[in-house]
Structure formats: structure tokens, C-alpha cells
Amino acid sequence: MIAIGCDHGGFALKQEIMHWLTEKGWEYRDLGCYTEESCDYPVYGRAVAKAVTQGDCDFGIVICGTGIGISLAANKVPGIRAALCTDCFMAEASRQHNDANILALGGRVLGTGLALKIVETFLQTPFSGDERHVRRIRGIEELGN
């Protein structure tokens, strides 16, 4: 189960991603926003982050205009590793190296085709589990929030 959320700047891309997830057989929970009316990204970043840390969802996808604000918000929730990705290399590394549990995207940055490839790469790439990556992730956790 994927939790997905956005602000108005990510609304159009979220619609495309939800359509793609359905086509590919992924289940998702849409946590808003639900219109293109101006709204505040921390609300939706937090909602997606909580759905992931509470175990209701395996991964999250958050989208705002740049992906920056909503990833900053999601990363305030303990246990979240939200990765803002602008290409497939970053999406792959965010899973292999960082065990990212939320993918952040910029709706005003990426074209739909690239965004969907990034989503696919993120969802299909496992964490490597390598000791050095586990150690570094633990190091992030020790920094607290």
C-alpha cells in the first residue's frame, strides 16, 4: 500500500501517478489535497509520513511544486527518510543506499514521463542491506529530529 499526498503545486502530477499506480496494480491511499486550490504542504507531508510510520502504508509519495517543502515536512516525522529525486539514478540510490521510505517529487520540475519512471524505479528497487548503509542510516537516526 502506497500513501500519496500533495499540495496544489503537485496536484496534477499526483493525478497522473495515481492513474499509473492503478494501471500497474499498486494499491494507494490518497491523503489529499483534493483540488488545485492553494493549500499548505506541511499538512500533506505529515499525513503521508504518519501513514508510513504507523505501518498503514509501506511507502509514501509526496509532491509539491518543487518537492522541497513537502520533503522537508515529511522528514520532520521520526522514522521517515524522504528522498527528493529528479532522476532515476537518485531514485535507485535512495532505495539501495538510504532505504528511503518516501519519494518526493516536484510537480513543477518534472515531466510526467520522467516522474513515472522515477516512481517505478523507486518502488522496484530494494534496500541493499549492506552493513555500511545500515550503519549510516543508524547514524542519521542518532541525530534525532
Binding site for ligand RB5 (CB under 6 A): 7, 9, 41, 64-66, 68-69
Q: Rounded to the nearest whole angstrom, what is the least distance from the CB of residue 39 to ligand RB5 in the complex? A: 9
Element (H, E) at 22: helix 11-24
Residue 86: name the closest of 122, 62, 110, 111 by CA. 110
8 annotated active-site: no
Q: In this chain, which residue has its C-beta nearest to ligand RB5? A: 69
Q: How far apart are CA 120 and CA 59, in angstroms?
A: 12
Instruction: Identify which of residues 24 and 76 has a Cβ nearer to ligand RB5 in the complex.
Output: 76
Instruction: Identify which of residues 13 and 21 has a Cβ nearer to ligand RB5 in the complex.
Output: 13
Q: What angle do CA 24, 29, 32 make, to 5 degrees?
A: 120
Q: Rounded to the nearest whole angstrom, what is the least distance from the CB of residue 70 to ligand RB5 in the complex? A: 6
Determine the residue type at 69.
Answer: G
Distance of CA 135 to the CA centre of its chain: 22
Q: Which of 6, 39, 64, 85 is catalytic?
A: 64
19 annotated active-site: no
Q: Rounded to the nearest whole angstrom, what is the least distance from the CB of residue 45 to ligand RB5 in the complex? A: 10
Active site residues: 64, 97
